[in-house]
Amino acid sequence: MSYVPATLRRVVTQRAGEQCEYCRFPQTASLFAFEMEHIIAEKHDGVTEAENLALSCPCCNRFKGTDLGSIDPETGQLTPFFNPRLQEWSEHFRLEGGVIVPRTPEGRVTAKILQFNLLERILEREQLISMGQ
Ligand SMILES: [Zn+2]
């Protein structure tokens, strides 16, 4: 994995509003440092530039790995993940309590592979909501 210079990390972190760009978990509420995620992995010739980087919580980054998409469980079609550089989160997902509900094929494969709705992740979100964050 390429080194991401501090200035670029700052740009990506601020642009993301210090939230994971996939599951929207706030960095300030996490015990772990968020990561620079290559939207298109370096393995697939993704570059280390702001346009290809997203701020990601360690959970989302680990589950996404170098994948670019998956098979949509509803249509059986090969579908790319939600791309935070090209797409609006609220067009692809909505929050229902602590559950992230996908609205689109891209939302479905992203929520499934990044495991947005593991029980402990839902409980963490519900806790944040109850604290008004
Ligand atoms: Zn996340």
Q: What pLDDT digit, counting tens, does each position of 26-36 carry?
A: 999 998 999 99
Chain-centroid distance, C-alpha 97: 18
Length in residues, the chain: 133
pLDDT at residue 132, as a whole number: 83
pLDDT at residue 2, as a whole number: 81
pLDDT at residue 45, as a whole number: 97
Query: Ligand 1 centre from 75 Cα, in Å?
Result: 25
DSSP 41: -
Q: What pLDDT digit, counting tens, does each position of 32-81 carry?
A: 999 999 999 999 999 999 999 999 999 999 999 999 999 999 999 999 99
pLDDT at residue 60, as a whole number: 98
Structure tokens that stand for 63 in this block: 């589950």
Q: Where are the domains of the chain?
A: 6-130
Structure tokens that stand for 116 in this block: 């947005």
Q: What pLDDT digit, counting tens, does each position of 11-31 carry?
A: 999 999 999 999 999 999 998
Query: Ligand 1 centre from 47 Cα, in Å?
Result: 21
Query: Ligand 1 centre from 126 Cα, in Å?
Result: 15
Query: Ligand 1 centre from 45 Cα, in Å?
Result: 23
Q: What pLDDT digit, counting tens, does each position of 75-121 carry?
A: 999 999 999 999 999 999 999 999 999 999 999 999 999 999 999 99
Query: Ligand 1 centre from 67 Cα, in Å?
Result: 15
pTM for this predicted structure:
0.95
